[in-house]
Structure 1
């Protein structure tokens, strides 16, 4: 049986959020059903949602199923789980991007995405550190 540890649980939670979070927050009138969005913008929204799903599921699979060195699995799973959050934060560097469309600015969600990015990356950092420490201590036994 696989060892259940706080580090693995934190990484798994971040991966699950990448897998499902965009469906919770994008499958509505502000994104996929937004009449102001042209079809190509909706295409890329759908692409991002599916990409989050694939990245999150891949991270979980590597962390819990792949038969390989524990530290290798940890590094790959943590990297995969970080990609969605890094790219979401990095998207603000592109011209014409914003955290929220002007017609929905009243919802007060502008900083929420960046806060979620920071929290998810912090959880990954803590999870990685704890799991690396656990692996190292098991290797010494």
Structure 2
């Protein structure tokens, strides 16, 4: 159960993180951003929310199996769902960690500072998801 709670925390980060961070003066409401940059910002917000919903679905999917489901089938669904949950739950964070390596990219626009302020958050949520998956898969 602890592992599923950790994966749920990851999903909440996906559901709320991008909408809160990107629906701001430094992103979507930044008058200096061209329309195409705002398009990609909207794409990123939508992707984050969709991945958060999928992570929740796969994390808790096995909890809603019919009581008549054979034990072997239920165990397989539970295992496969957790594997899928960790993949879906880390795609966004890993993509964010990698995005800073693209030519000309940066973690923030110069008017808002330098560095890569998202790195600790992206790393933390990746760690939470992988820890939750590992706990449910190997430690319980």
On whether the aligned pair clears a TM of 0.5, the verdict is yes
Distance of 2:117 and 2:102 partners within structure 1: 19
The reply on whether 1:57 has 2:53 as its aligned counterpart is yes
1:17-56 residue pairs with structure 2 within 5 A?
Answer: 17-56=13-52
Aligned to 1:88: 96
Of 123, 133, 137, the residue aligned with 1:118 is 123
Shift of 1:111: 3.5
User: Given the alignment, which residue of 107, 117, 134 partners 1:129?
Assistant: 134
List gaps (5 residues or longer) in structure 1: none
Which residue of the partner structure matches residue 68 of structure 2?
none
**Alpha-carbon distance in 2 for matches of 1:65, 1:128:** 14
Cα drift, residue 65 of structure 1 = 2.4
Shift >2 Å, 4+ stretches: 65-68
Count, aligned residues? 128
Whole-angstrom distance in 2 between the partners of 1:75 and 1:65: 12
What are the superposed Cα offsets for residues 73-93 of structure 1, whole Å, 9 maximum, x if unpaired? 100011000000010111012
Cα contact 2:108–2:116 (8 A) shared by 1: no
Matched, 1:78 2:74: no
In structure 2, runs of 5+ residues without a counterpart are 66-73
Q: CA RMSD in A?
A: 1.5
Deviations 1:87-137 (CA, angstroms, capped at 9, x unpaired):
0111012111100000111xx7x3430111111111112111111135xx5
